[in-house]
Structures are given as structure tokens and as C-alpha cells.
């Protein structure tokens, strides 16, 4: 299999036609995922990963929804190379309306997928930030966040979670999340 064509100017002119060109319907999900990592999966790293694999799905660092909503310019956060498709933008946050608005911005830049971070255990994120892994304790809030994001955009919305917050409780979390959704 070959990677999706990336010749369209998906970043230079983010619009509906460019987004559609970058996200072929029914495209197979890549087996290799380059996980989102703070201070690691920035543009240069993703370009290097693309050299290693033309088919890997690349992820951005996690961007906080309010950072995108209140920044004067988001290009420093959301800019990516044309050869980076398929690419996922990971968002952190816990307010459904803010996540929905940030998802719209992400989609307008031509990203193939938006992901809600329910997995980061960092005290900076899960502690005072009230998002990341701490969201695994609040499946109803996750449901509301994902629902708001999915209603705001046409691209796939996914959730990244951990095996557990305190123990191996991901099956319980995902079961509760599915039941409330």
C-alpha cells in the first residue's frame, strides 16, 4: 500500500477542498502510529519520522484547546509539512465547547483526525490542567467533549487513554465511556 497523496497544498490554503484532498474516504488506518509526545513530536521530528516511513500516521504534540483559541497566530502550533499526511492533531482540554471550537480550527488546517488526550499522566496536564489522564475518572465529561468535537468537525475524532489511572482500568473506562455515549 502507498501513503495518501500529499501533493495538494493542505497547509498553505486550508479550505474544504484541500481538506477533502488530504483525507481520502475509506483510507486504511496506518499500522504504525508515531505517538504524541510533548516537546518531541514537533515538525522537525515528524519530518524525520516521515523519512523513515511513508505510511506512518504522525501526531502533533498535544495542544491545549485554549492555547489555540486565544493565540494571535496558530501557525506556529499547527503548521506541518505537506508530506506529513496522515496526520493527527491531539488536543488537551476538558470544556466541550472549547474543544469543539479548537477542533474546528484544527480541521480548517487540513488535519486528517483530531484526538482528545485522556492519557497524559503529567502533573502539569492531569493535575492542575484537569485533562489528560485525569479525564479517565470522568467518562461522562469525556462523552460530552467528544460529542461536541464530533458535531463540530467532519474528520474523525478519537480518544487516547492509558491502561489505567491507578491500575489496569482502561476496559472499565472505555466501557463506561461507551455506555454514556
Report phi then psi at 176, rounded to 5. Answer: -65, -40
Q: Which three cell numbers stand for residue 3?
A: 501513503
114 has which bridge partners?
A: 89, 157
33 has which bridge partners?
A: 57
Distance CA 46, CA 126 (A): 25
Q: Which three cell numbers stand for residue 130?
A: 484537569
Is the peptide bond between 5 and the residue preceding it cis, with omega within 30 degrees of 0?
Answer: no
- Strand, coil or helix: 134: helix
Active-site choice (10, 120, 155, 161): 120
Distance CA 106, CA 165 (A): 28
Has 120 been annotated as catalytic? yes
Q: Which three cell numbers stand for residue 97?
A: 465547547
Active-site residue list: 120
Amino acid at each position: 500500500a502507498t501513503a495518501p497523496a500529499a501533493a495538494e497544498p493542505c497547509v498553505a490554503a486550508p479550505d474544504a477542498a484541500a481538506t477533502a484532498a488530504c483525507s481520502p474516504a475509506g483510507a486504511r488506518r496506518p499500522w504504525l502510529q508515531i505517538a504524541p509526545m510533548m516537546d518531541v513530536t514537533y515538525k522537525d521530528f515528524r519530518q524525520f519520522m516521515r523519512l523513515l516511513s511513508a505510511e506512518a500516521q504522525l501526531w502533533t504534540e498535544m495542544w491545549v484547546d485554549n492555547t489555540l483559541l486565544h493565540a494571535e497566530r496558530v501557525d506556529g502550533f499547527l503548521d506541518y509539512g505537506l508530506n506529513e499526511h496522515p496526520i493527527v492533531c491531539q488536543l488537551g482540554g476538558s470544556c466541550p465547547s472549547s474543544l469543539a471550537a479548537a477542533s474546528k480550527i484544527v480541521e480548517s488546517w487540513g488535519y486528517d483526525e483530531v484526538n482528545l488526550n485522556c492519557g497524559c499522566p503529567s502533573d502539569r496536564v492531569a493535575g492542575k490542567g484537569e485533562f489528560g489522564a485525569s479525564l479517565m475518572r470522568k467518562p461522562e465529561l469525556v462523552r460530552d467533549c467528544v460529542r461536541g468535537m464530533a458535531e463540530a468537525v467532519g474528520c474523525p475524532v478519537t480518544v487516547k487513554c492509558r491502561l489505567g489511572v491507578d491500575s489496569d482500568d482502561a476496559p472499565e473506562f472505555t466501557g463506561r465511556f461507551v455506555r454514556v455515549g
